[in-house]
């Protein structure tokens, strides 16, 4: 079945748990009784705003996709798009996506596509009311479109393939940053963004507080059969005077409370990145650490930071209008930063250290309320962080630790400027005065060079095994599947998989909706996460996936990094990402912490041949079978800039100081053009 048939199918849904059912423009209860629909608010891009890349890069990129001016498209998306100030966006169109191919079909589906009501969360009344307020405000901006709801198994879904402006645009990679009205400036939300008093409906979502009981705080999953194999991984530390690695938690000489928390978390043995990073951080050194997905990088920075804070005896945090945290941790997505916060809360349990999380898509007032109650460790997405700093709720003078998780992403074109702004904020201690820590599974060389600006010159570089390479616990399969056969193949695989938890990655937000809907039509219980879904929907989707209610999660690359979800046995790349690093992160959602997992990727020679060489490299480095056809494509495809040897080291990401001659390939903004994520990524993330 051709992908161009999506639309026809989607507007004639079979019974499904997911399929949106056309509903009147009103709140309604879902099958599970806890769902309400919201008609879309109009453009509220001020809540987070679309990504910068929306503005800079959306038009006219992407292999395998057609370009064309979409201005004539007569549905919500384009209305919203205009209202977001994207009229120049210039017709990105997924080549696999027929929706723009005919206005009549579009018309038939517009009620589905553009509308995006809420996703039931069983929200408290207050929330309901707030949302209604938002919705009404939205009505002022444009047509109130009918809400859509799917009921079925209670997994209510509101599809919103549009650009999301109905409720505020971009929620993804650059989720926290500039809004449409501020396009082409690198202004933060602090300068008129998310809090956006004047720019439209406010974001009112208040995330439910995490459970407070000890069992929930320390809930964890088991390490897998390959956990002990971590010991055999080669580790290289470069830089001068590195302290020796430790072999046990005891050697770290952490305080008793911390040791208790580590034990309650089920940690008995250090992973390699922890063995090396903990003493380095305890010794006060700056660090750039590259280690495979799922190998415990979060604890590798949290534990020594907490140990130090405990050692110096910070005073208990208390209510103050201006809080001065000792540690700031930033990560690129909301779900990831929330996860890091939960880890910080777990390890600081029973101490006077207070961790707080703030991220976009939630009510700004809520973030402020969390902060003013006390804040030692601030976990934040960049836009919300800058917003809060701008509102003078956070002072930076006491910052001892600045942590960039997924550091390569945090320094690339998307977030790099925001990070630069952060380190030059008034009060932020210079790099000599603070400790800066960077972690990722991938670390392209040119991004490493950029990192120099953030790190002391004598920083240490830890490379664990095949850094930038795939985790060996993931069994990788590459199937040659053309665009038009992908869905059939997907269903076949998912039917064989049964109820095992599976993440399906696609390249665009629209496609995430389409595929999720399609799978529900096929009676496969599915939910989706992407940047056009409201935050509450994103959290609901993740929650449904985590608990197994929806064993299939269709996602864009917004979910590619960092997410640590128990029992994800399979990752399917319905679309391959544009870069090999993204591939590595995506498949790293399975095979974590010594557990095994499987990744199946659909390779379409029409659009993916540029990935053949790096894929062959990653597969062979991870000792996976390399299909002969893939090798053939790899040999016959010239990929500018790719040398088979570039990743030919045991340490796929090496410390660039070893071979860096001081030559810079940075562009005028100080960012490497060649390492800038391609616009193809962008479509996924925002
Ligand atoms: N020493 C340990 N013993 C047991 N479990 C651990 C240990 N260290 C980490 N874990 C668990 O392993 C899982 C993966 O850890 P974490 O999310 O920190 O990986 P990561 O390296 O940051 O992955 P990614 O690159 O995908 O972000 C988590 O559930 C974490 O609690």
DSSP code of residue 66 = E
Length of the chain: 686
- Point out the ligand 1 atom lying closest to the alpha carbon of residue 339: 17
Q: Whose CA is nearest to atom 9 of ligand 1?
A: 296
- Point out the ligand 1 atom lying closest to the alpha carbon of residue 221: 29
Nearest to 677 by CA among 430, 414, 453, 494: 414
Nearest to 676 by CA among 501, 311, 417: 417
Tokens of 320: 């103050």
For residue 226, how many other CB atoms are within 10 A of its CB? 15
pLDDT of residue 642: 55
Which residues have a Cβ under 8 Å from the Cβ of 119 and sit 6 or more positions away? 35, 156, 157, 158, 533, 534, 536, 537, 540, 541
Where helices occur in 412-457 by DSSP H, the ranges are 416-423, 445-451
pLDDT of residue 309: 95
This prediction's pTM: 0.73
Per-residue burial over 323-345, b = 16 or more CB atoms within 10 Å of its CB, e = otherwise: bbbbbbbbbbbbbbbbbbbbbbb
CB 3 within 8 A of CB 98: yes
Ligand 1 pocket check for 476: Cβ under 6 Å: no
User: How far is the first Cα of the chain from the last one, in angstroms, to the nearest whole number?
Assistant: 28
Cα–Cα distance, 619 to 615 (Å, whole number) = 6
Ligand 1 pocket check for 588: Cβ under 6 Å: yes
For residue 299, how many other CB atoms are within 10 A of its CB? 21
Q: Whose CA is nearest to atom 8 of ligand 1?
A: 296
Tokens of 29: 């209860």
Determine the distance separating the centroid of ligand 1 and the alpha carbon of 657, expressed in angstroms.
28
Q: What is the mean pLDDT of each run of 10 residues along the chain (686 residues)?
A: 35 32 29 29 30 32 30 28 31 33 30 30 28 27 30 35 33 33 32 39 90 95 92 94 97 96 97 98 98 97 97 81 96 98 98 96 97 97 97 96 98 95 98 98 92 96 86 96 97 96 97 97 97 96 97 97 97 97 97 97 97 96 96 84 46 58 31 34 32
CB 471 within 8 A of CB 646: no
- Point out the ligand 1 atom lying closest to the alpha carbon of residue 343: 31
CB 467 within 8 A of CB 291: yes
Q: How far is CA 230 from CA 173, 291, 296, 464, 648, in A?
A: 31, 11, 11, 10, 21
pLDDT of residue 316: 67
With left for phi above 0 and alpha for psi between -120 and 50, is residue 504 left, alpha or beta? Answer: beta
Ligand 1 pocket check for 267: Cβ under 6 Å: yes
Ligand 1 pocket check for 593: Cβ under 6 Å: yes
Determine the distance separating the centroid of ligand 1 and the alpha carbon of 271, expressed in angstroms.
9
């Amino acid at each position: 079945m051709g992908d161009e048939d999506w639309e026809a199918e989607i507007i004639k849904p079979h019974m499904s748990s997911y399929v949106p059912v056309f509903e009147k423009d009103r709140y309604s209860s879902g099958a599970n009784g806890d769902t309400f629909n919201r008609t879309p608010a109009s453009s509220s891009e001020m809540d987070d705003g679309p990504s910068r890349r929306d503005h800079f890069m959306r038009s006219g990129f992407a292999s395998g996709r057609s370009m064309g001016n979409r201005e004539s498209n007569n549905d919500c998306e384009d209305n919203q798009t205009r209202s977001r100030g994207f009229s120049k966006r210039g017709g990105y169109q997924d080549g696999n996506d027929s929706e723009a191919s005919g206005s009549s079909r579009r018309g038939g589906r517009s009620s589905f596509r553009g509308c995006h009501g809420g996703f039931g969360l069983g929200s408290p009344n207050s929330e309901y009311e707030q949302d209604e307020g938002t919705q009404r405000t939205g009505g002022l901006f444009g047509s109130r479109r009918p809400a859509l709801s799917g009921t079925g198994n209670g997994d209510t879904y509101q599809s919103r393939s549009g650009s999301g402006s109905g409720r505020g645009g971009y929620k993804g990679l650059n989720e926290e940053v500039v809004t449409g009205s501020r396009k082409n400036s690198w202004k933060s939300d602090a300068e008129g963004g998310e809090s956006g008093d004047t720019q439209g409906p406010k974001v009112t979502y208040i995330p439910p507080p995490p459970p407070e009981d000890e069992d929930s705080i320390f809930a964890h999953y088991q390490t897998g059969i390959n956990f002990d194999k971590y010991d055999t991984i080669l580790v290289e530390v470069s830089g001068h005077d590195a302290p020796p690695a430790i072999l046990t938690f005891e050697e770290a000489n952490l305080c008793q409370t911390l040791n208790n928390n580590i034990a309650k978390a089920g940690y008995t043995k250090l992973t390699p990145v922890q063995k090396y990073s903990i003493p380095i951080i305890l010794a006060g050194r700056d660090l750039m650490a590259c280690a495979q997905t799922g190998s415990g990088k979060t604890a590798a920075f949290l534990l020594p930071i907490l140990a130090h804070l405990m050692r110096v005896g910070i005073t208990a945090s208390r209510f103050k209008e201006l809080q001065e945290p000792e540690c700031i941790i930033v990560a690129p997505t909301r779900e990831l930063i929330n996860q890091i916060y939960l880890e910080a809360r777990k390890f600081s349990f029973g101490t006077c250290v207070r961790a707080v999380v703030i991220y976009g898509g939630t009510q700004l007032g809520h973030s402020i309320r969390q902060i003013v109650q006390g804040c030692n460790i601030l976990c934040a997405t960049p836009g919300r962080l800058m917003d809060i700093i701008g509102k003078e709720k956070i002072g930076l003078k006491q910052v001892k630790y600045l942590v960039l998780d997924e550091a390569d992403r945090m320094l690339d074109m998307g977030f790099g400027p925001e990070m630069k702004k952060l380190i030059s904020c008034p009060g932020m201690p210079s790099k000599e005065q603070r400790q800066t820590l960077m972690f990722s599974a991938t670390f392209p060389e040119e991004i490493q060079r950029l990192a120099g600006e953030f790190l002391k010159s004598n920083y240490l570089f830890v490379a664990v095994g095949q850094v930038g390479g795939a985790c060996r616990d993931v069994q990788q399969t590459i199937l040659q599947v053309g665009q038009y056969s992908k869905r059939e193949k997907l269903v076949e695989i998912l039917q064989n998989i049964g109820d095992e938890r599976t993440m399906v990655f696609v390249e665009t937000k629209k496609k995430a909706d389409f595929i999720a809907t399609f799978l529900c039509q096929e009676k496969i219980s599915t939910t989706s996460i992407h940047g056009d879904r409201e935050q509450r929907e994103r959290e609901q989707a993740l929650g449904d996936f985590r608990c197994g209610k929806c064993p299939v999660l269709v996602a864009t690359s917004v979910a590619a990094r960092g997410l640590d979800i128990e029992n994800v046995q399979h990752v399917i790349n319905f679309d391959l990402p544009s870069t090999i690093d993204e591939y590595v992160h995506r498949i790293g959602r399975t095979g974590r912490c010594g557990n095994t997992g499987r990744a199946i990727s659909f390779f379409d020679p029409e659009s993916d041949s540029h990935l053949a060489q790096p894929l062959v490299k990653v597969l062979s480095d991870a000792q996976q079978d390399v299909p002969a056809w893939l090798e053939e494509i790899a040999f016959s495809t010239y990929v500018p800039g790719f040398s088979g040897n570039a990743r030919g080291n045991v340490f796929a990401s090496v410390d660039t100081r070893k071979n860096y001659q001081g030559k810079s390939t940075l562009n005028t903004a100080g960012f490497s053009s060649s390492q800038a994520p391609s616009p193809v990524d962008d479509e996924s993330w925002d």
